[in-house]
Amino acid sequence: MKKVIIIGHKQSNYQNVEKAFQYYGMNPPHPSKREKMSPIEIGDVLNKVLPDLNKAPENLSLLPNKKIKGSSIKNKSRKKSRNSTVKTTSLWDNLYLDLVLANIDQEFWGWSDPNSLQLLDYWANIDQDIHFVFVYDKPENLFQHNFIEESIELDSEKIKEKLEEWEKYNEKLLMFFNKYKERSVLINSRQIRKSIQNSIPKIYKELSASEVTLEKILHEDRLDIPSENLNENLNPLSDLIISNVLKKHYSTVELYEKLQRESSLPYLDTNKVNDISLAINAWQEMIKRNKEYQILTAEHKNTETFPLEEKNKLVEKTKEIVREKEKNIKDKKDLEIQIEALQLKLEKYFIESNALKEDNKKLSIEIDDLNIKKEENIKSLKKEIETLKAEIEKNHIENKNLKETNKSSLIEIEKLNREKEDDNKQKEKTITLLKKEDSIKSNELDRKNEEIKNYKIIIEDNIKEKKSLENQVEALQFELEKYFIENKKIKEKPPLWGASKVIRSTLEYQLGRTMIEKSRSIIGFIMLPISLILGYLSFKISEIRKDKNIILHEYQDYYEAMKLKNHLSYKLGEVFIINFKNPIKWILLPYRLYKTVFNFKKK
């Protein structure tokens, strides 16, 4: 199962890369099984929960985290400060596990998210099978696709901020690419749009997704890259201005060149335009726009002399012309999209037709070889048929001779059969007599064998009884020796008394007694949780010094002391200790204590 995360700056056209991947076999992810969350939603949650990503755990796995050994009361004060991070990491890992379970049947799936760069260490450590596709594009994209309002408000400071933000993001992107180079690729989105058929197989090989065959995974109606993004030079005038702006920002240009050098799929610009040609194109564009502006101003001056009705008509006409123009632009865009889709289909059919031609050539060669082999087989079969005909004729002549010899031999065989029948009759009589004698003898032997078997069974039973008696005697001797040694030890030791004191000194009994004593007054009831925790801690400290090898059943008053466990104080302490170990059960602790008191009074 291959998993891919596509990461790029918001202006890097990473969406088109995702569409291209989906067209060539990458399935979009299903929402998580339990929470129904998409990977982007999970990423947003993790960004809120894990602010310090550099401290993300390095050895995370899909298995639930085990409890750390050696946790004691002394460490509680130290754990309070980092308790939130420890719990969240183990808790939020289950979100990803839930997502994997929802997509477990998909062989190749992935998603795109520019914000995943903040969580890249987390994704890399939680699953070693996740591959990363880092996408970048020219810094010119920051200004080429802006709205008119944004373009008007641009100044040197805002340009600087935008470029610094682009640099910061792509520096981090390059750093992560070098860190996880074994399972990541760095690609230019323009190069994919330029040669999608050649680029995608190359990327899939680097992502070790070669088992996903392109012939099986092509889906015709899935790719939808907007045509406006495919145009390299939107406006010569804007290109000239942006190139002049970027010349002053050396660090941005150097970073883009570095990305190009490190890239697995850099952008190869075949139509490079020098500064002079770019300036000429920009000049021509400016003249063209000036002409359009002059025509519009002249029309506006003419309309000023017209009366209001004619002006309104002209306004309506201009509005209709603008609507038609917008409609034509939309139709043009739709046509361009359809043309691109058709081009992709034609490329696909061209590749398939070439493959079919090659297959036809191979098949024609194979057919020719088969025809030659067929002719050779026919010739060999004809020769075999002729030889078989000659052998059949020979066999026919031999059969005639054999029939003549068989007639004479049949007469002799009949005589021999008669003699054999007579001999067989005599033999049958002798066999019947012998069988009778054998049956009598076999009956006698069976009787003797049965008697011998009965004697053997009696002897075996006697041997088994003897062995069992010996074993019982040995066991009794062993037990008697054991009891003798134990009695000797008991006689040597003085009798122990005071089992009830031992039970009263247990943590359960002490905690239950404090509960009963403190609940008699209001101040004691308020201070009850503090006194219980202090009692618990003091008992744990005193328990270290005490002798832990006390065996209650050695005491003389053991059975009398065990009755103390039925006291209310012991039962309350026991309920408190069971629920105190788990913080989740603290909420139900008062109810359970009340229930024990109620049940005790009821009994």
Taking only the tens place, the pLDDT of each residue in 351-387 is 777 777 777 778 878 888 888 888 888 888 888 888 8
Q: Which residues, listed in sequence order, are joined to residue 187 by a DSSP beta bridge?
A: 135, 265
The reported pTM is 0.43
Residue 297: its pLDDT value, please?
64
Instruction: Report percent pLDDT > 70 for the chain.
Output: 69
Distance CA 8, CA 25 (A): 20
Distance CA 45, CA 92 (A): 9
pLDDT category of residue 8 using cuts at 50, 70 and 90: very high
Greatest CA separation for the chain: 151
Distance CA 274, CA 551 (A): 96
Phi–psi pair at 113, nearest 5 degrees: -160, 110
pLDDT in tens, 562-595: 777 777 778 887 888 787 777 777 777 788 777 8
Residue 57: its pLDDT value, please?
42
Burial class for 204, CB neighbours closer than 10 Å (0-12, 13-18, 19+): buried
Listed by start position, the domains of the chain span 2-230+249-268, 499-602
SS3 content of the chain, % helix, strand, coil (to 5): 75, 5, 20
Any idea which of 354-358, 516-520, 543-547 has the lowest mean pLDDT?
543-547
> In sequence order, what DSSP letters do the residues of 228-248 get, joined into one string?
HHH-S-S-HHHHHHHHHHHHH
Residue 308: its pLDDT value, please?
62
Buried b (16+ CB within 10 A) or exposed e, 480-505: eeeeeeeeeeeeeeeeeeebbebbbe
- Is there a contact between 509 and 564 (Cβ–Cβ < 8 Å)? yes
pLDDT in tens, 427-459: 888 888 888 877 887 888 888 788 888 878 888
pLDDT category of residue 425 using cuts at 50, 70 and 90: confident
CA–centroid distance for 109 within its chain: 10
Is 417 or 235 the better-scoring residue by pLDDT?
A: 417
**Architecture of domain 2-230+249-268 in CATH?**
3-Layer(aba) Sandwich (3.40)
Q: What angle do CA 436, 441, 445 make, to 5 degrees?
A: 145
Residue of 200, 240, 149, 174 whose CA lies nearest to 8: 174
Which amino acid belongs to residue 468?
S
- Is there a contact between 518 and 525 (Cβ–Cβ < 8 Å)? yes
pLDDT in tens, 206-248: 887 645 445 544 444 444 444 344 444 455 555 656 666 666 7
